[in-house]
Amino acid sequence: MLNIDLRGRRALVAGVADDGGFGFAIAKALGEAGASVCVGTWPPALNIFLNLLERGKMDESRRLSDGSLLTFEKIYPLDAVFDTYAELPEELRTSKRYKDVGDCSIDGLAQRLVADFGERPLDIVVHSLANGPEVKKTLLETSRNGYLAAVSASAYSLVSMIARLGPLMRDGGAVASLTYMASERAIPGYGGGMSSAKAALESDTRTLAFEAGRKWGIRVNTVSAGPYASRAASAIGIIERMVQYVGQNAPLTEHLTAEEVGTATAFLCSPLASGITGTTLYVDKGYHSMGMAVDAGMG
């Protein structure tokens, strides 16, 4: 039997703040395959996430196939908009949600990993981060600051993470991120520069696959997931309509599950995918292959 075996490997999943999105599903799939899992959580969501875990509110969703619960080896505060702690504005550092978490920058995360696990602590890095403060605005209405914020949080953060975590990865390391088809086709309602950010993310995936592959021997891929009604995706404002539309027009009409994205990402990060890098893998029930909407009158 051909199984995904990640025993003895350590994964970092950046962008987990609850049990309802792709980040959690990926972490669970990696844990199911035997990896030890650390997560990075946005500081304003950190205490809520920790409380949910401590009170057992996520126990059912954390349950693995053998009956045990997914455990997180470490939970780190991470604000991937900042490369170093010096870049955090003073008013943010001293704010209620940041003042007790310490260095939550990408560089700070790298330093904590080394302090906790040694010089080369990682085998897998998953970038499950995206934010567009003006996502509900059309591109024509998006401000320069809103556009740059979307690209910074959703695309450049991957570049920065690989630059700082790549040297910490062991032989055979793999990086995966999450993208969306708005990178290549117009999706009305998916605004605020997020489509541009996803296009940048996919382009960067190809370039980083070459550069990080030659420099550290690690693979870099991205997963283009179909629409899924997670709590984070509700910020778009039209997510339910997007899910319904894909269900009506994709080759496979069942709605996408987070588990399907999780297992596909675990495969990409496993030795079974050792020959795959620089690739965008579509996990969207085949919707990306369609060139025409299905006529509802035709059944």
- Terminal C-alpha separation, the chain: 40
Active-site annotation holder among 180, 228, 245, 282:
180
Closest of 205, 226, 108 to residue 158, by C-alpha: 205
Q: Is 147 a catalytic site residue?
A: no
Please report the sign of the dihedral spanned by the C-alpha atoms of residue 113, residue 116, residue 122, residue 126.
negative
Active-site annotation holder among 98, 190, 228, 287:
190
Please report the sign of the dihedral spanned by the C-alpha atoms of residue 196, residue 210, residue 283, residue 257.
negative
Report which secondary-structure segment, H or E, holds 176: strand 169-179
Q: Is 180 a catalytic site residue?
A: yes
Closest of 118, 124, 113 to residue 171, by C-alpha: 124
User: Are 41 and 19 a contacting pair, CB within 8 Å?
Assistant: no
Please list the active-site residues: 180, 190
